Amino acid sequence: MPLFSALETLMLELGRINTLKVQAIDSGGAWFAGDQLRILLPKREVPPQTAPGDELAVFVYLNSEGLPVATLKHPKAQVGEFAYLQVSQITKFGAFLDWGLEKDLLVPFSEQPESMRAGRKYLVKVCLDDRSRLVATARIERCLEEPPAELRVGAEVDILLWEFTDLGVKVIVDDLFAALLYQDEIRPGMKRGQRFKAYVRQIREDGKVDVSLRRLGAAGAREDREVLLDALRAQGFLPLHDNSAPEAIQRTLGMSKKAFKKAVGGLYKAGLVELSEEGVRLKKR
């Protein structure tokens, strides 16, 4: 049976973590799959007491001979995912990235929109080339898709920070499409390549998507009140008020000034806080 037909039969994905059952163990290591295709986990990586029938979560890729092999080490990104990775060296083949495995990940020169430099980090997507070898590309725009038709406002998504702009941060949603996180939601210390949980804030008429780090509507308002309450319980008093700079509120609470004012109003109506020109204080009971 041809290699890739065998892989499909096993429902095995190259360049990704697969849960496979150990079929046999010998001096070479642990073997997965069956007669048509055998995948080796080298002996040095086989956990003690492993026996046939056990299942292991392994990363599967092709070795230099074009045969599938397994490792218990999990890379910083799998096929289809984006990651912010550091260049370990530049060779005649391209740039090699440290992605958590013994063998570094190649970015061919043709996949570099700008010449990469050793020691610097770049946002890339992990892919399979036309020979099913693992490579990466830094041509991010080419990798992005259109937002799915079923996407709805309020949906919870995973975002990766891509590029800081005057409006905010371009992000990649669910490793698929681009969106924008606005300036007033940028938290102190945010860096390119970080991932956060977010929510779809708006789907514009042109199909572009805006996201928020806060839940929308009543759920978001409740979360903001809880964040403010927790901060007040810890400190008793916060020197934040209507005239505070948005940056100070964002730095202290991680929310916009608008969200802060709504949270303060809600807690005040509930009789939980006292307000003054100096700030907000937890009400003593």
pLDDT in tens, 32-55: 975 567 899 999 999 999 999 999
Greater model confidence, 58 or 223: 58
Greater model confidence, 42 or 244: 42
Return d(Cα 73, Cα 62) in angstroms, integer: 15
Lowest mean pLDDT among 20-29, 166-175, 203-212, 252-261: 252-261
Predicted local confidence at residue 156, as pLDDT: 93
Are the beta carbons of 269 and 221 closer than 8 angstroms? no
Confidence of residue 185 (pLDDT cuts 50, 70, 90): confident
Are the beta carbons of 250 and 260 closer than 8 angstroms? no
**Considering the chain, what is the average pLDDT of its residues?**
89
Predicted local confidence at residue 251, as pLDDT: 79
Give, in order, the Cα–Cα distances in Å from 233 to each of 32, 46, 139, 228, 283: 54, 49, 47, 9, 10
Regarding beta strands 177-182 and 209-212, do their DSSP bridges make them parallel or antiparallel, or are they unpaired?
parallel
Above 70 in pLDDT, residue 173? yes
Domains of the chain (ranges, CATH numbers):
3-71 (2.40.50.140), 82-141 (2.40.50.140), 156-212 (2.40.50.140), 217-282 (1.10.10.10)
Confidence of residue 8 (pLDDT cuts 50, 70, 90): low
Above 80 in pLDDT, residue 217? no
Greater model confidence, 3 or 266: 266
Q: Where are the beta strands (DSSP E) in the chain?
A: 16-26, 29-33, 38-42, 55-62, 68-71, 82-91, 94-98, 105-108, 121-128, 134-137, 156-164, 168-173, 177-182, 195-203, 209-212, 237-238, 273-275, 280-282
Residue 116 CA, chain-centre distance (Å), reads 22
Above 50 in pLDDT, residue 9? no
Above 90 in pLDDT, residue 218? no
- Amino acid at site 274: E
What's the whole-model pTM score? Answer: 0.77
Predicted local confidence at residue 266, as pLDDT: 84
Nearest to 219 by CA among 150, 157, 156: 156
149 Cβ partners below 8 Å, 6+ apart?
none
Q: Give the mean model confidence (pLDDT) for residues 169-187.
A: 93
Above 60 in pLDDT, residue 1? no
Residue 185 host element (H or E): none
Return d(Cα 118, Cα 55) in angstroms, integer: 38
For residues 86, 89, 95 and 98, what is the CA-based torsion angle, rounded to 10 degrees?
Answer: -40
Return d(Cα 165, Cα 155) in angstroms, integer: 24
Tokens of 185: 């939601």
Predicted local confidence at residue 11, as pLDDT: 63
Predicted local confidence at residue 93, as pLDDT: 95
Predicted local confidence at residue 10, as pLDDT: 52
